[in-house]
Structure 1
Amino acid sequence: MSDHQDILAIDDDHAFTSDLKAFFHRKGVGVATISDSILAPALDFHKFKVVLLDLDMPGLSGEDVLARMPTVNRPIVIIVSGHSDLETRIRLLDRGADFFLPKPVDLTEVLLICRRILGRQSLDMDPGQPWALSRSRHTLRSPEGTTFGLTTSEFRILEFLIAASPNVVAKETLAKAVTAREGAAAVAFYRSLEVMISRMRNRFKGPDLPLPIKALRNVGYIFHGQGTFED
């Protein structure tokens, strides 16, 4: 494995990890790689901010490695695998993965997603008043003091994103959490999620302070401001 970097790739496909490492290096981003998944549980995962994890590996599968990773202050885990059916994606997201990218994957896309995640993690929180979400009244109060009424779906989206902040939430995870359903209902909501969040940004923004929900293309959403809950 290479010297310590913010990004770790665990994959027994030497051609893929070699191409990944060389491409990231050319773009000024360091990435460590490990090809033997048996060694993964002995790693100090707290040293990394993003882990790219394959599933189909000898010794320990990616799912086994994921299960042995720390649950507190763990890095963002992006599954990169040819097993990209919906059932597999949902199972891995339920078991702790943050995102899922199907192989073959474009290295430029992987790089942009990693950069976005690392950038969002380093954002400074707004030092002013927080966005306050009232659980009893289903309202959102902006740092400027404006109070907005929320629909049930809007409230659940904000509740989940604020609770998860500063971590990024995958679209599939958010859709499932908001609808509290699986299957067709969650898929239908997933498709309308982008439009709904766009409308929320337009409706809740102040003169100088937009609603701090950011979209990471093909990844998910993040609440990157200060958020708090009220009874």
Structure 2
Amino acid sequence: MSKLLLIEDDHALSDLLSDYLTSQGCTVEQAFDGVAGLEQATSHHYDVILLDVMLPHLDGFEVLKRIRLTHLTPIIMLTAKGDDFDRIFGLELGADDYLPKPFNHRELLARIHAICRRVDFIKQTDQHEQLLSSSHVTLNVAARRVTVNEHVLILTGTEFSILQKLMGKIGHVVSKDVLSQHVLGRRLAPFDRSIDMHVSNLRKKIAQYNDIQCIQTIRGSGYVFLAE
């Protein structure tokens, strides 16, 4: 059973989503503004946080930034339909996924389940596959810890899963569609740049401590983690 935090200022929509998700076996706690949502998100454990962008007192982006200072809880942003800026900015700040309004409730549930499956998969990874390493990067699956030249990286769950997938196939191209299905639990849609944004964030974090670009883009194919 998933424990969710829904931060949404539209009371009617929040109640509707809460009732639906509860009927599907989830436990849902609600917050109706950014300040209250941030307090709940940082003082309690949740499996997934559903975060609206437009919130009173503290907008969703600021809530996301402050959560990411201390917590890696998976976050799905609820954005305005067709607003590319909101979606891209949210991903750059560390959101795991986004869903434009209006959306089908079943799609939201599917994305929640996909994130929870990813987390469970990481926890259940075989002991023999729990340490992945290259010349400069080491990924410990069991500890959910990544180091670059002995410096610890703070990654979101999505970034960690992407790096784990790429490092598990060092020297081999992994397609964006495979990454999307593995990390987000869905096929890559046309014009969907979510995987690109997560990889971009991952590269920036690695580059803080390593001059060599270890994740290479293979145009039209995907990404490859280079054997250094």
TM-score range, shorter chain: 0.5 to 0.7
Normalised by the length of structure 2, the TM-score is 0.59
The 1-side partners of 2:118 and 2:101 are apart by 25
Unaligned runs of 5+ in 1: 137-146, 181-188, 201-228
The 2-side partners of 1:24 and 1:126 are apart by 32
Aligned to 2:73: 75
Contact 2:79–2:87 (CA under 8 A) maintained in structure 1: no
Normalised by the length of structure 1, the TM-score is 0.58
Give the partner amino acid of 1:37.
G
The structure number with the bigger radius of gyration is 1
Aligned to 1:127: 127
Superposed counterparts of 1:143-182, under 5 Å? 150=171, 154=173, 170-174=194-198, 176=200
- Distance 1:191-1:78 versus aligned 2 partners, 3 A rule: farther
**RMSD between superposed Cα atoms in Å:** 4.0
The 2-side partners of 1:148 and 1:111 are apart by 30
The 2-side partners of 1:105 and 1:85 are apart by 14
- Distance 1:7-1:150 versus aligned 2 partners, 3 A rule: same
Identity %: 24
Aligned to 1:9: 6
- Distance 1:83-1:104 versus aligned 2 partners, 3 A rule: closer
Match for residue 94 of structure 2 among 93, 96, 106:
96
Superposed counterparts of 1:1-231, under 5 Å? 6-45=3-42, 47-82=45-80, 84-123=82-121, 124-129=124-129, 132=132, 134=134, 150=171, 154=173, 170-174=194-198, 176=200, 192=220, 196=222
State the 1:87 CA deviation: 2.4
Give the partner amino acid of 1:64.
E
Contact 1:90–1:172 (CA under 8 A) maintained in structure 2: no
- Distance 1:172-1:33 versus aligned 2 partners, 3 A rule: farther
Unaligned runs of 5+ in 2: 137-167, 186-193, 205-216
